[in-house]
Amino acid sequence: MQLGIEGRNAIVCGASKGLGRACAQALAAEGVNVTLVARTLETLELAQREIKAVSKVAVAVVVADITSDNGRDAVLAACSKPDILVNNAGGPPPGDFRDWTQKEWFDAVNSNMFSAIDMIRRTVDGMAARGFGRIVNITSISVKTPMPGLGLSNGARAGLTGWVAGVAREFVRDNVTINNLLPGLFDTDRGCGYLAYRARSEGVDVGDYMARYLAASPAGRLGNSDEFGAACAFLCGALSGYMSGQNIVLDGGAFPGTF
Ligand code: NAP
């Protein structure tokens, strides 16, 4: 399928590894110039080299903490008129809510709610004026199924989801869409780290916990990042302009609801 976005410019946050990187790679494969954002130069440059090796697009990197104002300034200085924005930052640490004070909550809300909102605030009017925009927020299945130990994620991401539900309707008329992609468990550092945390919490071997988890999951496996990247690219396609304000679950069927 031709997505019709060749020559477009994308900012992909949290793009040196994992799901963000897979989104960048899938967009680059569609001919989209990508600006990759993360905090670590070495892994960013590795991603840059690997994406360049399999595509013909411009691949820029910005070393920035997307959860800071300065970081967002730097990203938008490097790509001031993005057609596509993929919002993503690291997930908050797992733990027990009894241990979380205002600082932990403010950090989580800043990372997993406000940073995406502020990137949208700074880019969406320009997209609307230019008549094209695709915004994808990487959130989590925790929005629909609260995950044990991930209360900070369950809470902060629900806030982002509520805000997106409202604002998405304001821009679809201008061919700007805003959607959320909700990963279940994927084969990334974060996904595997969470399984290790769950195993430790239950005092069991990580391998045993993983085997039990996979046996109980409908797909019998973790998600592959490339599958996630492909879904992101589809949402960014020219023909996805009638799809906005949606929460798309990618979890191998793990969410048990009918809708
Ligand atoms: P990952 O493999 O740990 O990769 C995270 C990426 O984001 C890295 O490139 C990291 O690079 C970058 N990053 C982290 N914090 C950043 C910041 N403040 N500013 C800029 N870049 C930042 O994680 P992932 O599995 O791709 O997960 C992506 C998101 O989806 C996370 O929010 C995660 O909680 C959520 N999620 C993942 C899963 C899963 O199974 N993988 C499931 C549900 C939700 P640097 O560290 O160098 O900055």
pLDDT tens across 123-159, in order? 999 999 999 999 999 999 999 999 899 999 999 999 9
Contacts of range 78-83, beta carbons closer than 8 Å, 24 or more positions apart: 78/35, 79/9, 79/10, 79/11, 79/35, 81/9, 81/126, 81/130, 82/9, 82/10, 82/11, 82/35, 82/123, 82/127, 83/5, 83/8, 83/9, 83/10, 83/32, 83/127, 83/130, 83/132, 83/133, 83/134
- The reply to whether ligand 1 has any atom less than 6 angstroms from the CB of 182 is no
Ligand 1, atom 41, lies closest to the CA of 191
Q: What is residue 190's predicted lDDT score, i.e. its pLDDT?
A: 93
Residue 232 has pLDDT above 90, yes or no: yes
CA of 174 to the centre of ligand 1 (A): 30
Q: Which of 233, 1, 56 is nearest to 134 (CA)?
A: 233
Share of the chain above pLDDT 90, in %: 98
Residue 1 has pLDDT above 90, yes or no: no
Q: Are 11 and 79 in contact (CB under 8 A)?
A: yes
CA of 59 to the centre of ligand 1 (A): 19
Ligand 1, atom 16, lies closest to the CA of 89
- The per-residue pLDDT for range 46-80, each reduced to its tens digit, is 999 999 999 999 999 999 999 999 999 999 999 99
- The reply to whether ligand 1 has any atom less than 6 angstroms from the CB of 183 is yes
Residue 113 has pLDDT above 90, yes or no: yes
Mean pLDDT along residues 200-225: 95
- The reply to whether ligand 1 has any atom less than 6 angstroms from the CB of 39 is yes
CA of 43 to the centre of ligand 1 (A): 13
Task: Compute CA 74 distance to the chain's CA centroid, rounded to the nearest angstrom.
Answer: 19
**pTM across the whole model:** 0.98
Mean pLDDT of the chain: 97
